[in-house]
Amino acid sequence: MNPRSKGIVVALYGFAIFWGGVILVPFFWLAALSVKTRIDAFSVPPKLFFEPTFVAYSEILRDSKFLSAVLNSVIISVSAVTLSLLVAVPAAYALRNMVGPFRRNSTLVLLLLRMVPGMVYLLPYFVLYDRIGLLDTHIGLILVHLIFNVPLIIWMLLPIWAAIPDDLGEAARIDGATLLQTLFLIDLPLLKGGILASSILAFIFSWNEFLFALILGRREVITLPVAIVNFLAFEGTEWGKIAAASMFIVLPAIIFGFFVRRYMIAGMTGGAVKG
């Protein structure tokens, strides 16, 4: 790139800082709300400096419904990711090594089915689960998460896997390894980082999922995003709790997200990115 003129440099810095503000100010506003008293929250002009209070946090942490929502979210996200890994990793291994049209078609089908809007699946799942008694169960929600997590993990692993040279697998074959041994002794140790990253990303998507949780979980299996919305029912009185609960759900996502940021694109686009 050319040396930039002073004016351009100033403009670039200006825009960068402006957008930094656009991102951070709303976030901090919400964070501040979680430690404001009700009076501070509604004061006009808004109070930028106030005595923080952690009443909202202590309230939600004593709220058994909220705690069970945390537990449900953890159970569902972790199980969904674990189950997804169990089928997605071998599948990515196969797709990495297969050749010909079958490989290509399978890969595309997995991508396309994932791109179908969730609402399309939601209605039949509701009807189906209603009939077979899977409504309001962990397993019901976990199964639905697989639809999105399995292709996500496969799609994230494929480019990383492709970077492992063919020679290694062939050398292992010459050395007498079966395909399963090659997977466990050669590929997986080399893919540790990628598998961790794809698990984290899948976890974030599961953790953030709202639509299916709203309908397919009802009274027992309420996840965090749904629990927060339930606070809205007491609108006007619970803003502190809503903000505090929001922090609970957003912070893990951001912290984990920080570690997998470079894989984000492959995850969000299903890898269909062309230069």
Residue numbers 47-86 binding other proteins by CB under 8 A: none
Using CB under 8 A as the binding criterion, the count of chain residues that bind other proteins stands at: 129
**Interface positions, 118-137, toward other proteins (CB under 8 A):** 118-128
Please pick, from the candidates 76, 143, 195, 222, the single residue that binds other proteins as defined by CB under 8 A.
143
Q: Cα dist. 74→87, 101, 182, 202, 264 in Å? A: 20, 39, 33, 13, 21
263 touches 270 (CB < 8 A): no
Distance of CA 50 to CAs 9, 40, 105, 117, 215, Å? 37, 7, 59, 43, 39
Find the binding residues for other proteins in span 201-260 (CB under 8 A).
Answer: 204, 207-208, 210-211, 214-215, 225, 228-229, 232, 239, 242-243, 246, 249-250, 253-254, 256-258
* Segment interacting with other proteins (CB under 8 A) among 19-27, 51-59, 60-68, 74-82: 19-27
Q: Does 139 bind other proteins (CB under 8 A)?
A: no
- Angstrom distances, CA of residue 56 to CA of 53, 240, 243: 8, 5, 8
Residues 156-195 that bind other proteins (CB under 8 A): 156, 158-160, 162, 165, 167-168, 170-177, 179, 181, 183, 185-186, 189-190
- 266 binding other proteins? (CB under 8 A): yes
Measured between alpha carbons, how far is residue 89 from residues 161, 171, 174, 186, 232 in Å?
10, 21, 23, 14, 40
Question: Looking at 6, 62, 219, 262, which residue binds other proteins (CB under 8 A)?
Answer: 262
